[in-house]
Structure 1
């Protein structure tokens, strides 16, 4: 997959009884496509994938494949603690018609780098779809080390990496190593360092905040492609201010509930989703926190009335 550009991890709107809200999800997908995104990442961390059972995951994939209708590539997160569960999700994703998979290291149990390679190897052998590796040690408690990534790339197990490690030095070194492999697609998962990542060789970004302002990230990517770095910095700094919506729930809520809850609250204020709650036990933003999100959206030009 020659992936590039802005590929947001799509939020999953929920009904009051915690089921997938199909009309709202379709509105979010259209909002992202209208914003000019270059692909979509379904069932990622921002999608609350670990809270979903297999039928809910299949429902998200069904809706997205139908709504997007091939206009941009679709990646599906097949995220679960064990290899066989991941393979089952991957087969569901293949049957739904996605273009590629996103796979983390196994988690809960402590896994060696050699076992991680075997995990990816087993998934790739079972389901012949391109795989993007997902480095997110804050959630899976193990890092995809650079030698591990090199080995998996040499074996043809992975086509790229979504780096959500927060380790900017390692990302820079990886970008340097990948200069001789331009087909290896390197993406940052940081909403706040996109201009820097693109400058050092990333192919794009997977920003949760892109659910709220996809056009803002697409403009940033365009500036970087033109090598207009002052404009890229200006756009990045605006998005840093907008990212404040992800911080309004803490310390009352967990960082995850504050972040995803902030995105859902913003989408609610924008009229795209009817509710801003998340899967339990994550607590939604309260009225005061919602007012602060509304003020940030207005200050950055996304709400005229606040």
Structure 2
């Protein structure tokens, strides 16, 4: 890999205007915001970034903007969420035109679930399509890949370098941590349990909390790396209370709302996702004021 990939990597939101078009100025502001919070990388086109709604042309434009704003300071990871090997390979090839350091790719997510051999071949084909390192984004509930299959893919397909492990079962995360081949990167996307994930040796996180409150997540990462578990638990509890206010079917909209309360223009969710409700907004505001007490801010480079 051209850059070391670790730590707090926010899957940034994609700001949309009232017509559902990408607000490029707001997108640049979002990248700049997370960089001032000391993050270790950025990811675009993920779930929080509503990547499932982006056309290939839009994904390209977002890639170009993120690479321009990052200016090589941190790794940039491109999310690919699609339902066919052909389309995923097409998007992976497009990303090679930009200063992208890795790809985050989901298994297919429509109702028809491929068997393990088909899933293995999906990632094998993608690995043969691009030289960029691939992280498997293990998030799809009805196509959730077991640790044994993930280990087989990482062991036998050289370009698959790691896994972003989602869902709330910390046991699956723990099993992956102790069985993954040496040199693999295992990232936690279990937002409610970032603290124990870090304590167990996770290489970092690419998750919604870092997109909404990146400076707080950097503070949590730093506390755990320094062995300050008293502070780590305090931050964990504040983050958990905050997470409980944004975790919903309109999660990306709620992350955008939390960012707007911090002065970051993040636009609207893309239809048909609803905006943050008044009831959600009140809870987010209260929890945000508490969690931001732990925020870390750095001077821009």
Name the TM-score, length of structure 1 as normaliser: 0.90
Residue among 265, 278, 283 paired with 1:273: 265
Separation in 2, partners of 1:77, 1:47: 9
CA shift, 1:274, in A, is: 5.9
Structure 1 unaligned residues grouped into runs of 5+: 248-254
8 Å CA contact 1:159, 1:184 repeated in 2:
yes
**2:116 matched residue in structure 1:** 113
CA distance 1:119–1:14, shift in 2 (3 Å):
same
SS of the residue 1:9 aligns to: coil
* Deviation, structure 1 residue 28: 0.8
SS of equivalent to 2:233:
helix
**Partner residue, 1:290:** 281
**What residue in structure 2 maps to residue 143 of structure 1?**
144
**CA separation in 2, counterparts of 1:137 and 1:105?**
7
2:27 is matched with which residue? 25
C-alpha root-mean-square deviation of aligned residues, in Å?
Answer: 1.6
- What residue in structure 2 maps to residue 128 of structure 1? 131
- Offset of residue 147 of structure 1: 2.1
Superimposed CA distance per residue, residues 38-58 of structure 1 (whole angstroms, 9 cap, x where no aligned partner): 011110000001111111111
Contact residue 79 and residue 103 of structure 1 kept, 8 A: yes
1:256 equivalent to 2:249? Answer yes
| 1:212/1:107 CA distance change after superposition, 3 Å | closer
SS state at 2:255 partner: helix
**Quick one: distance in 2 between partners of 1:52 and 1:274?**
16
Counterpart among 23, 36, 42 of residue 34 in structure 1:
36
Deviation digits for residues 211-232 of structure 1 (CA, Å, limit 9, x no counterpart): 2211111111111111222221
Greater Cα offset, 141-150 or 79-88: 141-150
Cα–Cα, structure 1 residues 245 and 92, in superposed 2: closer, same or farther, change >3 Å? same
Aligned 8 A contact 1:162 1:187 in 2: yes
Task: Report if the CA contact (8 A) 2:242-2:291 is conserved.
Answer: yes
**Equivalent runs, 1:112-261 vs 2, <5 Å:** 112-138=115-141, 141-155=142-156, 156-178=158-180, 181=182, 183-247=183-247, 255-257=248-250, 259-261=251-253
Contact 1:20 1:59 in 2 (8 A): no
- TM-score, L = length of structure 2: 0.91
Distance 1:83 1:266 in 2: 35
Q: After superposition, give the CA deviation of every residue in 1:184-226 in whole Å (9 maximum; x if it has no partner).
A: 1111002221111112221111121212211111111111111
Q: State the alpha-carbon separation in 2 of the partners of residues 91 and 38 from structure 1.
A: 25
Alpha-carbon distance in 2 for matches of 1:211, 1:143: 23
* Equivalent residues, number: 289
Distance in structure 2 (CA, Å) of the matches to 1:272 and 1:28: 7
Give me the whole-angstrom Cα distance separating, in 2, the residues matched to 1:233 and 1:299. 14
Which gives a bigger RCO, structure 1 or 2 (Cα 8 Å, sep 6+)? Answer: 2
